[in-house]
Amino acid sequence: MESAYHHGSLREALIADGRRLLVQEGVDGVTLRELARRAGVSHGAPRRHFADRDELLAAIAARGFEELTAALRFAAEAEDRRARLRRYFTTYVEFAVNNGPLVALMFGSKPDRPPVQRAASEFFALGAQVLGEAPGDPPGPLVYVAAAAVEGIGALVTAGRLPEDRVGEVIDAAVSAVAGAYDESGPTKRV
């Protein structure tokens, strides 16, 4: 598929085409040379925007975190912790099912590039907010337990090891476990 590249938007075209190529070919198939070919530009043109392939992959991963965080924002609006968690888990799993290779890129490597660090930090901060933790505090251990649960459910579904007709009951069990752990550890004030 050729890019809809127009003068002045090569960076955005490379990110969008890189994401499509990621889905089609996997992370190993995403190269600056192939993206230049698809955009109809010289092989050196992408280097004006990305120093190397890793920088492009970081931009794709950061964009994925931004999209996922935006999709999850509505979960923080529910008053009840269990309702917030249910929305959060369900939305995350839907995103993972629809964006499997992107989610693997987002969570499969160290966030050592500033755009990924920033976007991932916003994602985890929203998770802490959904759980009712105070903003600005370091995440408590249950934030990581919730992240592990939701990422695990998403991975199981995308790998075909969790049948889609059982996703709801598994999410309910995970929500009960995480919310129950919060109930046992005492209430966290929502700010």
Query: Is this structure's pTM higher than 0.95?
Result: no
Which residues have C-beta within 8 Å of that of residue 153, sequence separation ≥ 6?
Answer: 89, 92, 93, 162, 167, 170, 171, 174
* pLDDT per position as a tens digit, 67-122: 999 999 988 888 889 999 999 999 999 999 999 999 999 988 777 788 899 999 89
Which domains does the chain show, CATH number per domain?
A: 10-50 (1.10.10), 61-185 (1.10.357.10)
Amino acid symbol at 55 = E
Please report the pLDDT score of residue 190 as a whole number. Answer: 37
Residues shown for the chain: 191
What is the distance between the alpha carbons of residues 151 and 144, in angstroms, rounded to a whole number? 10
Q: Which two tokens stand for residue 157?
A: 């579904």
Taking 70 as the threshold, does the pLDDT of residue 1 lie above it?
A: no
